Amino acid sequence: MTADVSVPNDTPADPADIPVDALPSRGPLWKRLPVVRQLRTSVGLQRGMLVTGVVITAIFLVTAIFAPLIAPYGGSQLRSGSVAFGAQKAPSAAHLLGTTVGGYDVLSRVVWGTRTALLVMIAAVVLSIFLGIFLGLVSGYFGGWIDRVLVVVADAIYAFPSLLLAIVAAIVISKGQSSMWGGILAAAISITVVFVPQYFRVVRSEVVRVKAEAFVEAAKVIGTPPARIMVRHVLRNSVRTLPLIVTLNCSEAILTLAGLGFLGFGIEPSAAAEWGYDLNKALSDVTSGIWWTSVFPGVAIVLTVLGVTLVGESLNDLADPRLRTRRAAGRRGARAAVQSEVDVVEVDPLDAPPVADEDTSTGRTGSHDETTGGAR
Amino acid sequence: MSAQEPVIDVRDLKVTFATDAGDVAAVRGVSLHVDPGQVLAIVGESGSGKTVTARSILGLLPETALASGAVVLRRNDDAASSDVLSLSPSRLREVRGRDAAMVFQEPSTALNPVFPVGWQIAEGLRAHRRLTRAEAHREAVDVLRRVGIPDPEERAKHYPHQFSGGQKQRIVIAQALVLNPGLVIADEPTTALDVTVQAEILDLLRRLPEEFGTAIVLITHNMGVVADLADQVAVMYHGRIVEQADVRTLFSAPQHPYTRALLDAVPRVGGPRLRPARTAPVGETALTAAPSTGAPVVEARSLTITYPGRFRRPGFTAVDGVDLSIHAGEVLGLVGESGSGKTTIGRAIAGLTPVTGGELTVLGTQVRGIHERDFRAVRRRIGFVFQDPATSFNPLLTIAACVAEPLLVHGVAKDLDAARPRVDELLEAVQLPKAYGDRFPHELSGGQRQRASLARALALDPELLIADEPTSALDVSVQARVLDLFARLQEELGFACLFISHDLAVVDLLADRIAVLHHGKLVEQGTGAQVLGAPQDPYTQRLLASLPVPDPVEQAERREAWRALVTR
């Protein structure tokens, strides 16, 4: 008999259908982590975008984590010793980026602001992810009236401008309180309200798709209870696009937080440093030629959003085989590739082909692994 | 004819694809040529490179492909020939449709649903020649008439969804023929069609060389289609042509071991069976008489299944008053074309589709209107093998975990480790090495996966196994292995089985009795010899006559018999 060679009915209409590889040899765990994997497979401009994004994001993270070591002063510090910093001082040796109208050190405010942004990002994404996934799973799997009600509610939330919704949520939640955690949670929860429908929708549509797959029916046929089907079979196959949405939502969270702060619904300056608030206070400085109070927090917002968005967009492009660019064929010689494949493929003794000089087992499954890999 | 230049001359074609895992050589040095008016069939299994070869004739390879060699295509007016691989995009566009055209596998996706078919045919004309709208339309109507669309003036204004599958494929062929190309490439032109429709399309394709003077490159994996249509056959294996011969020589005296294996693997109606005929107890020859050996495993009485309609339309009755029974240890083959309701019956027995009328008793339990909770006990006595092995496994679980699922769900084993001995035993029973249990589904080939699927279905020692087209997604030689295994396991374990298939030959290999479905109604049932040897119902007769057999001489006779039956 001959080798089992599994290929979609061999009409490679687009690159997604092209025979990919034999047994994808699984490397060590760190090479299969979401971002690391994409870094290794990307080429050209896409790789440049991803690397830029990763570097900016890494700088952001390091700054946030080591803020006490990096910042010369505390975020709400007004004086060193007994000497006040003074307001609207130009950049100098003592204050590298100058001071604000309120008498804070701009550099310290920018550095400490990364911490606030990171905390809000984490809190907002964690809260909305759990709620969104749960609702999406239940709604998509069971359907019926629960599904209809939840979809209508999600659509209704979409209908509001998200910033307006966040303002209302901030007022309802914090009621003018302004401690650091109170402010961060208020901002995070108000962002959550906007994000939950997004996760809900994505997860729900994936669940509806996965629910119709044969392996879910296979589970039903053997009498698997619904809860087990949902957790074991549907959930893990429905969350593969989430890493992308998470990165994109992180940048949106920063913008919403800054927007809230700019409008005065954010965190009080004495509780924690926050870029939106600083920008608001710097408004009047701009006309009087004091540029340093507005430029640096603004640059911080732009860079952070840019970094996270670049990572997200690159992941998005790389996850889609049709958008992903590859190295041109034949550059390293087909022979070498065939050779390496033989090393990977263990020819099943039962399916060994009669003329098995080389075995090029191929399959769509390879590209399938590509897309599910992120969820593992 | 041989004095003429070939229509297409492929010399040492090599195609390499760039993939994430490095380069993959899909075609490794293929040379072939087709003379005018000839039919060359390229056969081979999935991944053998036959489609890639054909697509490179039209320059239809994706960007990631790198082709070398020469593909010399002659102009349809014999003026010149050109190497397709080195043409500029605009010159390539001129060549496509004029010198060579393509017929695709799936007619329903090859036509644009928002334009009338006449417009779509005329579009190809107007892209190549300066014609007025009316002239183009006239030619489109003309070509539609020639491919056998009745009332073409009126039908040219219709949209694709208003045609049946077979008619759509005729339209796609008309679209390919309208510029009178010297070569038509038909990529699995009948794979998506039912066997009775396939016979009609094959009949049309056979007329093309005579009536249009067109040469055909036919890509297929169906040896029956090859025997029916081809003059020359090229057998491809792993990107190379391993054997090339005219059709009679190839079928009567195959040279290459791969060709021989391929031909041996093709199941034939009336060929050697995989299972010994059941020693039927006395009284079972009469099908209506209840056998003495206990109650049947499955019993359906005027079973009706209706899918609810939408927007106040009446529902669709998929299964209409079917009576059938499966006895313990018996294999019932359920045959029918797409839409005949055969899968619906299988799903109803497995409790996946609700029964809306009649009675259905499965393992002593009345299924109609039953609650899922009450059906669970029955479920552990039923195994189910799905059609597509690629999608019936959770891609994130290992094979061992998938096979162990039934054991865990029904509390036979506490956890995966406890289930592992039984899983290994099952994998061994389906001839998979134990180590495969630790692999993920995508790391197995299609045939291996289908065997793992069988292992999962047998995990709880079911009394009834439902196999829904278990081999239709597999290559023919793999199919032979899976069927072989299936027959052996059935003999060892003695489960009753409902074997659903559209392929009469496959069913004939395995089934004790065969039931033929047509439009939701059971038209005929009986033993294999009765139904396939001396069919009574006209539909069964037509079905049997439409089936191309992998033997060019015999097929030529059968073709005449089919013509007589159709025109009668």
Looking at residue A178, what is its pLDDT? 60
Q: Which range, of B104-108, B142-146, B382-386, averages the lowest pLDDT? A: B104-108
A40 part of a folded domain? no
Cβ-defined contact of B21 to A21 (cutoff 8 Å): yes
- Ramachandran region of residue B258, left (φ > 0), alpha (ψ -120 to 50) or beta? alpha
Please list every residue in chain B whose beta carbon sits closer than 8 Å to the beta carbon of residue A21. Answer: 19-22, 24
Q: Which of A10, A326, A355 sits opposite B258 (nearest CB)?
A: A355
Encode pLDDT of A173-206 as tens digits. 766 556 677 777 777 887 888 888 888 998 999 9
B16·A375 Cβ contact <8 A: no
Q: Are B49 and B61 in contact (CB under 8 A)?
A: no
CATH number of the domain within which A155 lies: 1.10.3720.10
> Which residue is closest to B407 within chain A, CA to CA?
A222
Please give the distance of CA A342 from its chain centroid, rounded to a whole number: 37
Note whether A371 and A234 are same-domain residues.
no
Q: Tell me how far apart the alpha carbons of residues A111 and A63 are, in angstroms, rounded to a whole number.
A: 7
Cross-chain residue pair B26–A19, CB shorter than 8 Å: yes
Instruction: Identify whether A194 is part of a domain.
Output: yes
The tokens for A241 are 């696009």
> Cβ contact (<8 Å) for B394 and A215?
yes
- Which chain A residue's Cα is nearest to B409? A224
Cβ within 8 Å, pair A2-B475: yes
List the single residue in A with minimal CA-CA distance to B480: A1
Closest CA to B545 of B523, B527, B567, B520: B567
Q: Which domain holds residue A91?
A: 48-319
Nearest to A355 among B66, B242, B456 (CB): B242
Q: Is the pLDDT at B128 greater than 70, yes or no? A: yes
Distance CA(A241)–CA(A312), nearest Å, equals 11
Q: Which residues of B touch A218 (CB under 8 A)?
A: 384, 386, 392-393, 453, 456
A304 and A362 assigned to the same domain: no
Which residue of chain A comes nearest to B376, CA vs CA?
Answer: A223
Summarize the confidence of residues A350-363 as an average pLDDT: 36
| pLDDT tens digit sequence for B211-268 | 888 899 999 888 888 988 899 999 998 889 999 999 999 988 899 999 988 888 888 8
Tell me the average pLDDT across A225-236. 87
A105 DSSP β-pair partners? A99
Tell me whether residues B352 and A15 touch, CB distance under 8 A. Answer: no
Domain termination residue (choose one: A282, A298, A319): A319
Please count the structural domains in chain A. Answer: 2
The answer to whether the CB of B22 falls within 8 A of the CB of A22 is no
A to B CB pairs, distance under 8 Å: 244
Q: Angle between the A242-263 and A106-142 helix axes, to the nearest 10 degrees?
A: 130
What share of chain A in percent tops pLDDT 90? 11
User: Of residues B206 and A16, which shows the higher confidence score?
Assistant: B206
Rounded Cα distance, B454 and B442, in Å: 17
Question: Average of pLDDT values for B36-58?
Answer: 87
Tell me the average pLDDT of chain B: 85
Residue B301 token pair: 């009485």
Pick the residue from chain A with its C-alpha nearest to B389: A214
Nearest chain B CA: its distance from A310 CA (Å): 22
Strands B22-34 and B8-19, bridge-based pairing: antiparallel
- Closest to A340 (Cβ–Cβ): which among B22, B350, B477? B22
Q: Taking CB atoms and an 8 Å limit, are A223 and B409 in contact across chains?
A: yes
Tell me the C-alpha distance between B423 and B446, whole Å. 19
| Predicted local distance difference test score (pLDDT) of residue B41 | 92
Residues A334 and A312 in one domain: no
CB contact under 8 A, A221 and B384: yes
Residues A166 and A243 in one domain: yes
Query: Are residues A362 and A233 both part of a single domain?
Result: no
- Sheet containing B298-307: order of strands: B316-326, B298-307, B357-362, B365-366
**Cβ-defined contact of B24 to A348 (cutoff 8 Å):** no
- Please indicate, yes or no, if residue A292 is contained in any of the structural domains: yes
Sheet with B81-83: list strands edge to edge: B22-34, B8-19, B65-74, B81-83
CB contact under 8 A, A222 and B25: no
Per-residue H/E/C for B305-319: EEECCCCCCCCEEEE
Question: Which residue has 């289609």 as its token pair?
Answer: B225
User: A328: which chain B residues are within 8 Å (Cβ-Cβ)?
Assistant: 18, 66
The DSSP bridge pattern shows strands B316-326 and B298-307 to be antiparallel
B187 pLDDT higher than 50:
yes
* In-domain check, residue A124: yes
Using a CB-CB distance cutoff of 8 angstroms, which residues of chain A are in contact with residue B406? 222-223
Q: Where are the alpha helices (DSSP H) in A143-241?
A: 144-159, 162-174, 180-211, 214-221, 226-228, 236-238
Indicate whether A309 and A345 sit together in one domain: no
Of A319, A346, A365, the residue that ends a domain is: A319
Say yes or no: A208 and A315 in one domain.
yes
Q: Do B478 and A1 count as a contact with CB atoms less than 8 A apart? A: yes
For residue B519, pLDDT beyond 50: yes
DSSP string spanning A68-96? Answer: HHH-SS-TT--EETTEE--SSPPS-SSST
CB-nearest partner of A237 from B388, B396, B443: B396
Cα-based distances in Å from A242 to A126, A236, B499: 12, 11, 41
Nearest 5°: phi and psi at B465?
-120, 130
CB spacing of A5 vs B477 below 8 angstroms: no
Domain co-membership, A85 together with A144:
yes
**A152 and A242 both lie in a single domain:** yes
Q: What's the pTM?
A: 0.74
In chain A, the percentage of residues whose pLDDT exceeds 70 is 74
**Per-residue pLDDT averaged across A315-321, rounded?**
74
Q: So what's the pLDDT on residue B171?
A: 92
Angstroms from A283 CA to nearest CA on chain B? 51
pLDDT at A289: 80
**Joined tokens for residue B280:** 């039927």
Q: 3-class SS at A134? A: helix
**Which of B64, B187, B256 is facing A18, going by the closest CB pair?**
B64
Chain B residues whose beta carbon lies within 8 Å of the beta carbon of residue A362: 24, 47
Residues A308 and A357 in one domain: no
Which residues of chain B are within 8 Å of residue A332 when distances are taken between CB atoms?
22-23
Tokens 């007589």 belong to residue: B564
Bridge-based pairing state of the strands B65-74 and B521-527:
unpaired
- The rounded distance, in Å, linking the Cα atoms of B221 and B225 is 8
Nearest CA distance, A240 vs chain B (angstrom):
11
Given an 8 Å threshold on Cβ–Cβ distance, is B64 in contact with A233?
Answer: no
Contact assignment for A15 to B64 by CB distance below 8 Å: yes
Between strands B382-385 and B298-307, the pairing is: unpaired
**Residue A26 clears pLDDT 80, i.e. is over it:** no
How many residues in total does chain A contain?
376
CB B305 within 8 A of CB B344: yes
Block residue for tokens 């046929």: A221
Higher pLDDT, B56 or B287: B56
Interface contact A354-B261, CB threshold 8 A? yes
CA nearest neighbour of B72 among B58, B61, B83 = B83
In a domain, A82, yes or no: yes
- Average pLDDT of A215-232? 87
- Residue A24 within a domain: no
- The beta-carbon neighbor of A41 closest among B20, B52, B237 is B20
* Token digits of residue B351: 């409790």
Nearest to B457 by CA among B402, B516, B412: B402
Shortest distance between the Cα of A372 and any Cα of chain B, in A, equals: 8
CA B469 distance to own-chain centroid: 10
Torsion of CA B186, B136, B61, B32, to 10 degrees: 50
Are B20 and A350 in contact (CB < 8 Å)?
Answer: no
Q: In which band, very low, low, confident or very high, does the pLDDT at B294 lie, cut at 50, 70 and 90?
A: low
pLDDT tens figures, B444-488: 888 888 889 989 998 888 899 999 888 887 888 888 888 888 888
Q: Give the pLDDT band of residue A277 (cuts 50, 70, 90).
A: confident
Domains for chain B: give ranges and CATH numbers.
Answer: 109-180 (no CATH), 270-275+293-381+493-536 (3.40.50.300), 383-461 (no CATH)
Which of chain A's residues have a Cβ under 8 Å away from the Cβ of B46?
A: 5-10
CA end-to-end distance (rounded Å), chain A: 36
- Both A270 and A178 in one domain: the answer is yes
User: Is there a contact between B442 and A341 if contact means CB atoms under 8 Å apart?
Assistant: no
pLDDT at A323: 67
Q: How far is CA B552 from CA B201, B227, B241, B403, in A?
A: 17, 4, 21, 43
**Confidence band for B282, pLDDT divided at 50, 70 and 90:** very low
Give the span between the Cα atoms of A298 and B241, in whole angstroms.
65
Q: Is the dihedral of CA B89, B91, B92, B97 positive or negative?
A: positive
Q: What is the mean pLDDT of residues B383-405?
A: 87
d(CA A9, CA B105): 10
Q: Is residue A9 part of a domain?
A: no
Within 8 A of B438 by CB-CB distance, chain A residues are: none
CB contact under 8 A, B475 and A11: no
- Could you tell me whether strands A79-80 and B232-237 are parallel, antiparallel, or unpaired per DSSP bridges? unpaired
pLDDT for position B465: 92
For residue B433, the chain A residues in CB contact (below 8 A) are 348
Q: What is the residue type of B355?
A: V
What pLDDT, on the 0 to 100 scale, is given for residue A366?
36
Residue A341, pLDDT score: 37
The residue to which tokens 């302004």 are assigned: A178
Supply the pLDDT for residue B506: 87
Question: Which of B64, B410, B440 is opposite residue A326, by nearest beta carbon?
Answer: B64
Contact A237 B191 (CB under 8 A): no
Whether residues B20 and A363 touch (CB distance < 8 A) is answered with: no
CA atoms of A55 and A63, how far apart (whole Å): 12
Q: Which of B105, B263, B445 should we substitute to test contact with A (largest number of A Cβ atoms within 10 Å)?
A: B445
CB-nearest to B47 from A19, A41, A338 is A19
Does residue A36 lie within any of the structural domains?
no
Q: Which span out of A354-368, B279-293, B320-334, B469-483 was modeled with the highest average pLDDT?
A: B320-334
Residues of A in contact with B475 (CB under 8 A): 2, 4-5
- Tokens 């979409």 belong to which residue? A158
Least confident of A68-72, B4-8, B309-313: B309-313
CB-CB neighbors (< 8 A) of A360 in chain B:
24-25, 47, 238-239
Going by pLDDT thresholds of 50, 70 and 90, the confidence category of residue A29 is: low
- Which of the four pLDDT bands, split at 50, 70 and 90, describes residue A152? very high
Whole-number Å distance between alpha carbons of B514 and B92: 52
Residue type, A294: S
Question: Which residue on chain B is closest to A342 by alpha carbon?
Answer: B24
- Contact yes or no for A348 and B445 at CB 8 A: yes
Q: Amino acid identity, residue A28?
A: P
Are A8 and A17 within 8 A, CB to CB? yes
Co-location of A108 and A145 in the same domain: yes
Place of tokens 């917002």: A301
Per-residue pLDDT at A59 exceeds 90 = yes
Residues 6 or more apart whose Cβ sits within 8 Å of residue A226: A141, A142
Query: Helical H runs in B40-105?
Result: 50-57, 89-98
